[in-house]
Amino acid sequence: MKKLLLLYEGKAKRVYSVEDPDLVIVEYKDDATAFNGLKRGTIADKGIVNNKVSNHLFQLLERAGVPTHYVRQLNERETLVRKVEIVPVEVIVRNIAAGSLSKRLGIPEGTKLKSTVLEYCYKNDRLGDPMVNEYHIYAMELATRDELSRISDMSFKVNQILSDYLKDVNIELIDFKLEFGRFKGEIILADEISPDTCRFWDSATGEKLDKDRFRRDLGYVEEAYREVLKRLTGEN
């Protein structure tokens, strides 16, 4: 599968066209940003880890009946995926208070939430991905009612599947961000699921195994990403 044109370059990935108009190649970079691009850096081999971790989890979700954009991994940094129209809504799923929820609501990090929280953000870098609710989404026509209902059902299902799976490798799924796309009239899971887009805490020690190590300058960033890959696939 040959890369033709660079269609899009984001903060962490590049997207290329291929001959088949229904498919694209995603290439994962080592670039890392936080706080809407204010903090910048690189995390050695992050692109390799995120590609492999995300593909591993997408395959797991596919087997559990969640439709995703995943087609096949091409090499360490590149994956063939279905070409979707991204729904400009980021879905955040939270099981345990952390990050912006803790800050906004004054709930200490690590507090178990009595029920799962879903948040929506309008995917717009210029505006800093502001939080929106269902009414904003319909008023701005970011998604239809049917689409949002599918998106929320799928988000809860992904949470259940991933939380159960990660428990077995001693990882607590604190929260994560999902993106969805339209493909031939269907909503499918797109983007990535990786230490960039999730909070993973070691079940026993509470050690952070995710991008918070970069955001908060905690050190051992590369090691934490590698550790997640190792726990999921056995690969070092």
Q: Which residues in this chain contact ligand TMP in the complex, by CB under 6 A?
A: 92, 98-101, 129, 175-177, 197-199
- Name which of 175 and 227 has its Cβ closer to ligand TMP: 175
Least gap, CB of 48 to ligand TMP (angstroms): 19
Per the DSSP assignment, residues forming a β-bridge with 183 are: 186
Residue nearest to ligand TMP (CB): 99
Is 183:69 a contact under the CB 8 Å cutoff? yes
Name the β-bridge partners of 25. 16, 80
148 vs 193 by CB, closer to ligand TMP: 193
The identity of residue 79, as a single letter, is: T
Contact yes or no for 138/132 (Cβ under 8 A) = no
Helix (H) or strand (E) run with residue 179 in it: strand 171-183
Pair 117, 131: CB distance under 8 Å? no
Between 183 and 201, CB nearer to ligand TMP = 201
Q: Measuring CA to CA, which residue among 30, 22, 9 is closest to residue 194?
A: 30
Minimum CB separation from ligand TMP for residue 236, in Å?
Answer: 25
Q: Which is nearer to ligand TMP, 176 or 180 (CB)?
A: 176
A 10 A CB-CB count for 164 gives: 11
Q: Directed axis angle between helix 46-63 and helix 145-167, to 10°?
A: 110
Q: Which is nearer to ligand TMP, 75 or 124 (CB)?
A: 124
DSSP 8-state class, residue 205: T
* Residue among 37 and 219 whose Cβ is closer to ligand TMP: 37
Looking at beta carbons only, is 186 or 217 nearer to ligand TMP? 217
Least Cα distance to 188 among 179, 180, 199 occurs for 180
Per DSSP, the residues of 16-74 read EE-SSTTEEEEEE-SEEEETTTTEEEE-TTHHHHHHHHHHHHHHHHHHTT--BSEEEE-
Smallest separation (angstroms) from ligand TMP to the CB of 109: 10
Three-state SS for 184?
coil
